[in-house]
Amino acid sequence: MNQFYTAESVTEGHPDKLCDLIADSVLDECLSHDALSRVACEVMATRGQIIVAGEITSLYEPSIPSIVRSVLRKVGYNPARFAIQCLIHKQSPDIAAGVDCSLEQRRNVDGSSPSLQLGAGDQGIMVGYACSETPQMLPLPVVLAHRLTSALTIARKSGAIQGLRPDGKAQVTVEYDEDGKPFRLDTVVLSAQHSPEIPADELCFELTDKVIAPALQVLPPDEDTKILINPAGRFVLGGPEADTGLTGRKLMVDSFGVFAPHGGGAFSGKDATKVDRSGAYMARYIAKNLVAAGLCERCQVTLAYAIGAAQPVMVEVDTFKTGTVCADDCLADAVKLVFGLTPAEIIAKLDLLSPRYTGTAAYGHFGRPEFPWERTDQAKILRAAVI
């Protein structure tokens, strides 16, 4: 029996994504001056107001209002229309102590090891996912949804379509055959904020020709595909003026959509000692290497941590019965053998002290080759460890 799977994406001008972008821009500004900065930045955007709150401990004091205004300009909003509030204080000394000196080190459990000196910045469950159905090793609906919103933003910023405004979102439903392979495009939803002067039929034609058609070349619409452009009708009022935005409210857009569970912790605005982010990146890195090694066709890796402890309290691999060599528990043992899973090891392996996070905030944190957690450089080592 055929099944249908849906994924969504939003543009950088969507109010929630705008908040993620501001939070990660604050993080990058801190890291560019002090690589050991501790940042937990939350943002709320509503009509005429941007509120930035959280904890920052750094040798550098960022000018948050300047960062916010710069992001607003780049995205396409007028900074003069927003009042900016900053509610920032330093990281809790209790949390800082648990991160700086891990539980293992305090108990002298091989405390001389540098990898055990840094404890996790919070408890949490992190999930990574990969599959073989696209070159990005992501589900096809996820890839197509991000392509649509990326193409929409490019069309706006390049001037290819006149009258577009920053807010927008997309949703793609793909029909999978009985073998679990994507074979046809069922539904495409594209909502694009626009100027009131552009006629609806002209906007529909332009979006179909310059956004939908090029973005969906890998699986083009057929005569039965439902294409819904601005299905709510007029979309002139958008962004924070129409809808309040919050950091971390687009968790499934950031990760794998309906294809994998989410541990609940957001990514944006957090430095790498927060395993909500670094652990999720490592879980994706492991899952992708397992698939790249030919050990399975799709894979979910789950890591769990306790605040202040260095080693994960759980490492689980689920191949959904697609494993080709051995049982899933054997793969989990290989993962623990090949990959360093303490926060210090993750940070070092994935180069997570570099100011790269602004680029992750929109259009998904995964499936993009510029990020270190998308490498497949451990595939051969993993396969050798299993064999």
pLDDT in tens, 135-175: 999 999 999 999 999 999 999 999 999 999 999 999 999 99
Query: Is 249 marked as binding a ligand?
Result: yes
Q: What b/e readout covers 49-73, taking b as 16+ CB neighbours within 10 angstroms?
A: ebbbebbbbbeeebebbebbbebbe
Query: Is 122 marked as binding a ligand?
Result: no
Closest CA to 126 of 229, 242, 245, 251: 251
Q: CB-side exposure of 297: number of CA atoms within 13 Å?
A: 7
Residue 343, pLDDT above cutoff 80:
yes
Sheet containing strand 3-10, edge to edge, reads 3-10, 164-176, 182-194, 226-229
Closest CA to 125 of 248, 264, 256, 254: 264
Q: Mean of the pLDDT values across residues 343-348?
A: 96
Query: Is 277 marked as binding a ligand?
Result: no
All domains in the chain, ordered by first residue: 3-9+140-237 (3.30.300.10), 15-116 (3.30.300.10), 124-134+273-386 (3.30.300.10)
Query: Is 243 marked as binding a ligand?
Result: yes
Query: Is 12 marked as binding a ligand?
Result: no
Distance CA 70, CA 77 (A): 10
Query: Is 169 marked as binding a ligand?
Result: yes
Query: Is 215 marked as binding a ligand?
Result: no
Q: Which pTM was predicted?
A: 0.95
Query: Is 250 marked as binding a ligand?
Result: yes
Pick the more confident residue, 93 or 339.
Answer: 339
pLDDT in tens, 73-130: 999 999 999 999 999 999 888 887 778 877 777 787 665 677 778 888 889 999 999 9
